[in-house]
Each structure stands twice: as structure tokens, then as C-alpha cells.
């Protein structure tokens, strides 16, 4: 029996990217219910106005930043209440490949108790999403830091440290076992690393799904993401308290090299923020 599949996307801004995501979804997976959780962005109603199968849920901003973890949980809970057997979470910057939904559905039948992840191609600046969704295959160049098994196959026993929230799918029963994202995390960073760690601790296998390609639309980024420094330091400290390990070590190393933080065995002191304040995480 076919799965009842619901797609969940959380969004703040990125209206052009959301329009492209909706355009491609209408092509590759017409009629699939799509829950959009708008974080402090009431203009989203106009962006998707009149589109069947779309539900918008509004969530207010947390004083500390965008509540990404809580918004995803709200979206998934709404999907499960609607009767979803399989929930696909897709970042607003990503458009789905022609076989993303069907590949996740087949993989969920093979390994129903797994956390399913698909390959993501980052589109270069100036590369637009093609008018014909079938032409997305021509752009496929998966991020080299993650597995990308051939279409129609899966790669089991994946490293939980590589879990990412750009594109993944989970059965209702597995979501219940995981308990969702830890809502202590607010703003950018670590909430998906934390969910991967929870999956490892609870014996939930991470599986990479061939053919479940997503394509990340270009937007400017900082390396390291200085604009998210406060969020990253706060969320890294939450992760330390939960797991006694530091996440996002590459970014923290670079922030330390730049003199923006002082990292001690069990704490980070933030010494240079955009506002010029000193604080302790």
C-alpha cells in the first residue's frame, strides 16, 4: 500500500526560493501535501496563495532568533496529525529532484526504522533552476562530504555525524522514537547534529538514499558564518552540556583563530560580536 507522504518546509524570507521549490514540487510530485512553517513571516501566505495541497502554519520568532528546531517539530507534528506515514523535510533553499519523493518512499519500505538522507547538489552562483524539472538531472553534482549512492540503491550504516536537515525523511514511528529536534536550540547550528546524535544513541540507523537528489539554490554565505556567530556559540554550548562534545569544530576553530572566541575545555567565551559586546556561553 502506498505511503501517505507529507512534505515539511520551514521558512523565513527566501520567497523566491520557496516559489521555485513549489514550482518544481507541482511538477515532480503533484498533489503531495506540503506543510510550510513560516517563522515570523506572514508574507508567506501571499507567496503560496491559492495553491492546493499547501498548508501554512505561522510561528513567532524567539527573542534569541529563528526557532528552527521548534518549527520543524511543529511541521512534523501537523503532518502526523494529518495521517502521514512518511514525512519528508526539505530546506526552503532546496528544490526536489524528479525522483526525490519516490526514492524516499521506496527506501522507507526497505528500512522503515531508519533516518533517511538524500544527496544534495549545491548550485553555483548564476545557475538557475531549469524550467523543466527533468533537466535537474543534468546539474547533479552531489556535495562531496556526504555519500551519494547510485539511484535505486541505499547505503546503510551511515555516520550519524553526517546527518543534515537539508533533505531527509522519516517514518512516523521513527520520529516518535527520536522525539524530534531538541527545542533548546534556537537560531543557526547544531540542532541537526544533535538529532543525529540522538539517533545514534537510540539505535536508529542513518541510511543514504540514492536517487533522492535535492538541489540547493545559491545564496551568499560567509565562511565561517560570522553573521551566525552568537547562535553558533550558544548552540554549541547547549550541545556540550547535552553530550560533552563540541559540534561544528571547524567553525569554532576558525572563530578562535580570528580571535572572536576563546575556547576552554567546557566553555566558550565570546569576545568579539557584531555589537561589540563580551559575553560567556
State residue 135's pLDDT score: 96
Q: What is the mean pLDDT of each run of 10 residues along the chain (281 residues)?
A: 86 97 97 97 97 97 96 98 97 98 97 97 96 96 95 95 96 97 96 97 98 95 88 95 94 93 89 52 43
Q: Give the pLDDT of residue 103.
A: 98
Residue 224: the pLDDT is 86
ω into residue 224 within 30 of 0, thus cis? yes
| Spatial CA neighbour of 79 closest among 116, 113, 33 | 33
User: Would you state the CATH architecture of domain 5-216?
Assistant: Alpha-Beta Complex (3.90)
Rounded Cα distance, 175 and 177, in Å: 5
pLDDT score recorded for residue 89: 98
- pTM score of the predicted model: 0.94
Look at residue 59 in the predicted model and tell me its pLDDT. 98
Distance (Å, rounded) from C-alpha 5 to C-alpha 118?
16
Residues 6+ apart with CB under 8 A from 32: 5, 6, 7, 25, 53, 101
Domain boundaries, the chain: 5-216, 226-280
Question: What is the pLDDT, as a whole number, of residue 1?
Answer: 42
For 280, the grid coordinates are: 560567556
Amino acid at each position: 500500500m502506498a505511503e501517505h507522504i507529507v512534505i515539511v518546509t520551514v521558512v523565513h524570507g527566501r520567497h523566491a526560493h520557496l516559489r521555485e521549490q513549489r514550482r518544481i514540487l507541482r511538477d515532480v510530485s503533484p498533489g503531495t501535501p506540503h506543510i510550510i512553517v513560516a517563522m515570523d513571516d506572514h508574507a508567506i501566505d501571499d507567496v503560496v496563495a491559492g495553491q492546493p495541497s499547501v498548508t501554512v502554519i505561522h510561528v513567532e520568532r524567539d527573542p534569541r532568533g529563528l526557532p528552527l528546531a521548534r518549527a520543524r517539530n511543529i511541521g512534523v507534528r501537523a503532518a502526523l496529525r494529518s495521517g502521514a506515514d512518511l514525512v519528508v523535510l526539505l530546506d526552503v533553499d532546496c528544490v526536489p529532484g524528479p525522483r526525490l519523493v519516490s526514492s524516499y518512499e521506496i527506501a522507507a519500505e526497505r528500512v522503515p526504522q531508519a533516518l533517511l538522507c538524500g544527496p544534495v547538489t549545491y548550485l553555483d552562483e548564476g545557475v538557475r533552476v531549469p524550467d523543466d524539472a527533468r533537466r535537474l538531472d543534468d546539474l547533479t553534482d552531489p556535495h562531496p562530504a556526504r555519500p551519494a549512492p547510485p539511484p535505486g540503491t541505499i547505503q546503510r550504516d551511515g555516520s550519524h555525524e553526517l546527518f543534515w536537515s537539508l533533505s531527509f525523511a522519516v517514518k512516523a514511528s521513527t520520529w516518535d522514537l527520536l522525539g524530534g529536534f531538541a527545542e533548546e536550540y534556537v537560531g543557526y547550528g547544531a540542532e541537526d547534529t544533535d538529532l543525529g546524535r540522538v539517533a545514534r544513541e537510540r539505535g536508529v540507523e542513518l541510511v543514504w538514499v540514492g536517487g533522492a537528489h535535492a538541489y540547493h539554490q545559491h545564496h551568499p554565505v560567509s565562511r565561517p558564518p560570522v553573521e551566525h556567530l552568537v547562535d553558533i556559540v550558544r548552540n554549541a554550548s547547549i550541545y556540550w552540556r547535552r553530550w560533552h562534545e563540541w559540534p561544528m569544530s571547524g567553525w569554532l576553530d576558525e572563530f578562535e583563530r580570528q580571535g572572536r572566541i576563546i575556547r576552554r575545555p567546557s566553555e566558550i567565551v565570546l569576545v568579539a560580536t557584531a555589537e561589540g559586546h563580551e559575553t560567556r556561553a
